């Protein structure tokens, strides 16, 4: 019985990885296409030149509803570190993508998994999405975008928060 449980946890984690990637990139697509949106609800500021950033994203894209908190440090460098926490399709998850260490950890089904062998793939996807968010959000203070692809609400934008390096470790 235990062998079956060990085999199930990685399958759950892989399913969550796919759902989160679809939700996060789907939200980025909605934002980058400049769907209709409004102001309100955030700190705004000069996001384009931020070296660290924190914000929340609630989205419905591709039939997936997700709530995510993004935190990033050393933005714009190969040492950028990203932490993403939230729920997608009813499943809780945490991602840590550490560019300085070229490591990827995912927390799902009650455990951390080191998926660093897939670092390059996820770094490319999330680095592009995060760069898109920071470019699209520059000078913006929050609100909701809508497009044929879905809706995205971005809130609680904090420019240059003090983020500890320990936040980017499992």
The conformation of residue 1, written as its DSSP 8-state character, comes to -
Cα–Cα nearest to 92, from 69, 72, 109: 109
Residue 161, SS3 per DSSP: coil
| Distance separating alpha carbons of residues 16 and 10, to the nearest angstrom | 10
- Domains of the chain (ranges plus CATH)? 2-168 (2.50.20)
Alpha-carbon torsion (168, 128, 125, 17), positive or negative: positive
Q: For the chain, how many residues are written?
A: 170
Alpha-carbon torsion (31, 34, 35, 40), positive or negative: positive
Is residue 156 a contact partner of residue 55, using CB atoms and an 8 Å limit?
A: yes
pLDDT digits (tens, 9 = 90+) for 117-148: 989 988 888 787 777 767 766 666 566 777 77
pLDDT reading at 168 higher than 80: yes
pLDDT digits (tens, 9 = 90+) for 61-83: 777 788 889 899 998 888 999 99
pLDDT reading at 100 higher than 90: yes
Structural element, H or E, at residue 72: strand 64-73
pTM (predicted TM-score)? 0.73
Is residue 9 a contact partner of residue 115, using CB atoms and an 8 Å limit?
A: no
pLDDT at 41: 38
Find the DSSP H helices in the chain: 2-32, 119-137
């Amino acid at each position: 019985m235990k062998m079956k449980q060990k085999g199930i946890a990685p399958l759950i984690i892989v399913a969550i990885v796919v759902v989160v990637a679809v939700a996060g990139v789907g939200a980025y697509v909605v934002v980058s296409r400049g769907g209709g949106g409004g102001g309100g609800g955030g700190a705004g500021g000069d996001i384009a030149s931020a070296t660290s950033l924190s914000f929340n994203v609630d989205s419905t894209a591709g039939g997936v509803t997700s709530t995510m908190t993004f935190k990033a440090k050393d933005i714009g460098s190969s040492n950028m570190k990203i932490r993403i926490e939230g729920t997608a399709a009813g499943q809780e998850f945490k991602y840590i993508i550490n560019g300085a260490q070229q490591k990827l950890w995912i927390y799902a089904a009650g455990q951390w998994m080191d998926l660093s062998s897939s670092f390059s793939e996820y770094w490319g996807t999330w680095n592009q999405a995060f760069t898109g968010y920071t470019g699209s959000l520059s000078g913006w203070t929050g609100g909701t975008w809508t497009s044929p692809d879905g809706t995205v609400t971005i809130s609680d934008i904090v420019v240059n928060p003090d983020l500890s390096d320990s936040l980017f470790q499992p």
